[in-house]
Amino acid sequence: MIQDIEPRIFNNSFQNKKAEPQDLFLSYEGDTVLVREEKDKLWYPSFSDFEAEYPHLIDEARFLFTIDNINYFLTDEKGLDTAEGWAYVTTGRFRTEPKYWRSFAGAVGWQLNRWYSSHRFCSKCGKPVTQSEKERMLYCESCGFQVYPVISPCVIVAVHDGDRLLLTKYAGREYTKYALIAGFVEIGETLEQAVIREVQEEAGLKVKNLKFYKSQPWPFTDTILAGFYAELDGDDTITIQEDELALGIWMNREDIPPEELKISLTGEMMEAFRTGLFQK
């Protein structure tokens, strides 16, 4: 999956440090990220690449994380694609980059960029917030309110019936490949209760014998995913929730399309069922 970058080591512990010329930085404009134009892989800029035209970048950058001994920073500067050889490309590239450590760095940076951008003011009193020098936290000097990066829990459910797996397709999204039942956990709800509710709501099915598979941080939607396999309980008639799904079908194990670039928990779970790695 996208976070599986071994032998490289991701360290997200907060550090109040200044950038150096050799450090890399991430620059976003909406759903695009700055990369080197002529590279066929995600190649992020260093401060030394921009020190002639943008000498102030290094002073205004915000530390993000490290991968091995490489420090990554975030800059709010816009229009950096005016520099020769650099361009903003769609963040959809994070889903197709075969070197997971490159895509994971860009996706987590994008997640933090969205958080910083949407929390410039205190949600309690409306005054500007300040970045803590001790931890990854924003606080309001006026009322003392504190806010940390928001991570929402979400369940992914592989509903199976013998050698059949329930596959779905989302309604009204750019992503058109097969997926599994998925949904956010509600307030006061356990993960297991969310599994049962989401399957009932989205597919009109009942399930039993829930088995937890594994979890995954999913920076694209600020979520932590919890994957479950669940056995069909009773009637197999699918009734899709049309505002959420465009399709819901039972597919035999041997007919499930193989997953080529396994960046998601959904893809790994489908592949585990297809190949027989998942056993009831």
Q: What is the pTM of this model?
A: 0.91
Q: Is the peptide bond before 7 cis (omega within 30 degrees of 0)?
A: yes
Give the pLDDT confidence of 51-105 residue by residue, as tens digits.
Answer: 989 999 999 899 999 999 999 999 999 899 999 999 999 999 999 898 999 999 9
Q: Does the structure show a pLDDT above 80 at 5?
A: yes
Mean pLDDT over all residues of the chain? 94
What pLDDT does 106 receive?
97
Give the pLDDT confidence of 203-258 residue by residue, as tens digits.
Answer: 999 999 999 999 999 999 999 999 999 999 999 999 998 888 899 999 999 999 99
Q: Does the structure show a pLDDT above 70 at 280?
A: no
What pLDDT does 205 receive?
97
Give the pLDDT confidence of 217-228 residue by residue, as tens digits.
Answer: 999 999 999 999
Spatial distance between the Cα atoms of 59 and 240, rounded to a whole number of angstroms: 52
Average pLDDT over residues 44-53: 94
Q: Does the structure show a pLDDT above 80 at 176?
A: no
